[in-house]
């Protein structure tokens, strides 16, 4: 995509990201990294720079800012997007391989079954229901919060995760113990949706293609978020209303903010006296580990988790502290 002198580069970056259906969080991150890259090189235009300047910026992040490998790779991803998708300048893979940070392979933190029970016992309300799904279905936090009403199938006890990591759909299990709590929760969400409709609201965010093809779908019950926010907000990607269009124009009920669940999990871990670094993602790790402990096939666990490569799932065999071989310590034979 060519950039006109009259259009700011970062605006073109945003437009390109939206055209290619990147998430808003990715859009914010990529624009931020591109801005920092330009400022680091004294506001030189990226067309005047290349692999050498990219390497210098990433080295600055690693050495002076001490960022993690994943953060460094996110910055690299943003710059590659800028050059390849926006400026139509090819950056050869061989040229960037030396500056791509290698992510350390760390064994994830896992809770025991009793620790999970203690953690959940210290939670309540919607955050508890979200946490139960993270552990009971192996969902990532944002996958859970982005669920729509139509993604829950009570008859088959399944959950459909749409546009998960890697933009892939998958089906995972819905714990039978959560059928009743979820039905009760959905009845409360339905009442909120009806109030919104009565107030002339009730729209929810839809991907651009769907919004254009089914303009009425944004207000339909099936498309509403399973875990809606308590507050209405304006879509940051939509034009700001002006003049007579102000008021309720553009107001939508987005999904629950992830920080609500993150804080609730941290607080519950402290109340439960769990001396581990516990995050919502820890529950997903625990889901996988406990399934392998129960002797479920690793390929089945891989499919439920949505891992592209089974080697990613294999990390949980190391969590079991037996390397997949059930080795018995010689000390235990004495």
Per-residue pLDDT reduced to its tens digit, 212-256: 788 889 999 999 999 999 999 887 766 655 444 555 667 899 999
* φ, ψ dihedrals at 139, nearest 5°: -80, 150
Kindly state the tokens that stand for 250: 């553009």
Q: Considering 41, 118, 165, 170, which one is annotated as catalytic?
A: 165
Residue 207 pLDDT > 70, yes or no? yes
Does a structural domain hold residue 105?
no
Cα separations in angstroms, 171 against 182, 255, 272, 281: 18, 21, 32, 19
Return the SS3 of 157: coil
Residue 315 pLDDT > 90, yes or no? no
Q: Which residue, 214, 234, 258, sits at the end of a domain? A: 258
> Catalytic: 284?
yes
Does a structural domain hold residue 2?
no
Same domain, 15 and 146: no
Q: What is the pLDDT of residue 103?
A: 64
Of 156, 150, 138, nearest in space to 284 by CA = 138
Residue 53 belongs to domain spanning: 9-99
Same domain, 132 and 230: yes
> In this structure, what CATH number is given to the domain that contains residue 123?
1.10.443
Same domain, 27 and 141: no
Residue 267 pLDDT > 60, yes or no? yes
> Catalytic: 316?
yes
- Which range among 115-119, 124-128, 149-153, 309-313 shows the weakest confidence by mean pLDDT? 309-313
Q: What is the pLDDT of residue 331?
A: 61
Same domain, 139 and 215: yes
> Catalytic: 281?
yes
Same domain, 122 and 236: yes
Same domain, 151 and 34: no
Kindly state the tokens that stand for 62: 């690693």
Does a structural domain hold residue 286?
no
Does a structural domain hold residue 234?
yes
Same domain, 136 and 232: yes
Alpha-carbon distance 81 to 227, whole Å?
32
Q: Considering 41, 140, 150, 162, which one is annotated as catalytic?
A: 140
Confidence of residue 162 (pLDDT cuts 50, 70, 90): confident
Does a structural domain hold residue 77?
yes
**Domain count of the chain?**
2
Alpha-carbon distance 306 to 164, whole Å?
8
Report pLDDT digits (tens) over 172-181: 999 999 999 9
> In this structure, what CATH number is given to the domain that contains residue 86?
1.10.150.130
Does a structural domain hold residue 283?
no
Residue 208 pLDDT > 70, yes or no? no
> Catalytic: 128?
no
Q: What is the pLDDT of residue 313?
A: 86
Does a structural domain hold residue 246?
yes
Averaged pLDDT of the chain: 87
Alpha-carbon distance 139 to 108, whole Å?
15
Q: Considering 36, 170, 281, 318, which one is annotated as catalytic?
A: 281
- Which range among 147-156, 163-172, 181-190 shows the weakest confidence by mean pLDDT? 163-172
Q: Considering 83, 135, 205, 316, which one is annotated as catalytic?
A: 316
Q: Considering 128, 252, 253, 284, which one is annotated as catalytic?
A: 284
Token pair 């903010």 in the structure block, residue: 257
**Residue 270 contacts by C-beta under 8 Å, 6 or more apart in sequence?**
none
């Amino acid at each position: 995509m060519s950039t006109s002198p009259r259009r700011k580069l970062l605006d073109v970056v945003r437009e390109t990201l939206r055209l290619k259906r990147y998430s808003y969080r990715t859009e914010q991150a990529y624009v931020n990294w591109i801005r920092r890259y330009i400022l680091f090189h004294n506001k030189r235009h990226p067309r005047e720079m290349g692999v050498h300047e990219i390497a210098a910026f990433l080295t600055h992040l690693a050495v002076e800012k001490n960022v993690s490998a994943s953060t460094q790779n996110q910055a690299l991803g943003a710059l590659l997007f800028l050059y390849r998708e926006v400026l139509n300048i090819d950056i050869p893979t061989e040229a960037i391989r030396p500056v791509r940070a290698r992510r350390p392979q760390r064994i994830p933190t896992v809770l025991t079954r009793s620790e999970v029970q203690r953690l959940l016992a210290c939670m309540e309300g919607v955050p508890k229901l979200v946490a139960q799904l993270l552990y009971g279905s192996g969902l990532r936090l944002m996958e859970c919060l982005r669920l729509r009403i139509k993604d829950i199938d009570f008859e088959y006890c399944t959950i459909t995760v749409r546009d998960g990591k890697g933009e892939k759909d998958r089906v995972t299990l819905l714990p039978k113990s959560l059928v009743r709590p979820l039905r009760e929760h959905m009845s409360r969400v339905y009442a909120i949706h009806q109030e919104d409709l009565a107030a002339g609201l009730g729209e929810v965010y839809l991907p651009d293609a769907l919004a254009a093809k089914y303009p009425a779908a944004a207000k339909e019950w099936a498309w509403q978020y399973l875990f809606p926010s308590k507050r209405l907000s304006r879509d940051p990607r939509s034009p700001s209303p002006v003049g007579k269009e102000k008021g309720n124009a553009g107001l939508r009920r987005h999904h629950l903010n992830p920080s609500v669940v993150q804080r609730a999990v941290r607080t519950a871990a402290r109340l439960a006296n769990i001396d581990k670094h516990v995050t919502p993602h820890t529950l997903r790790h625990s889901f996988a580990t406990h399934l392998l402990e129960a002797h479920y096939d690793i390929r089945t666990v891989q499919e439920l988790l949505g891992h592209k490569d089974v080697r990613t799932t294999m990390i949980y065999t190391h969590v079991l502290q037996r390397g997949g071989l059930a080795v018995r310590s010689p000390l235990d034979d004495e």
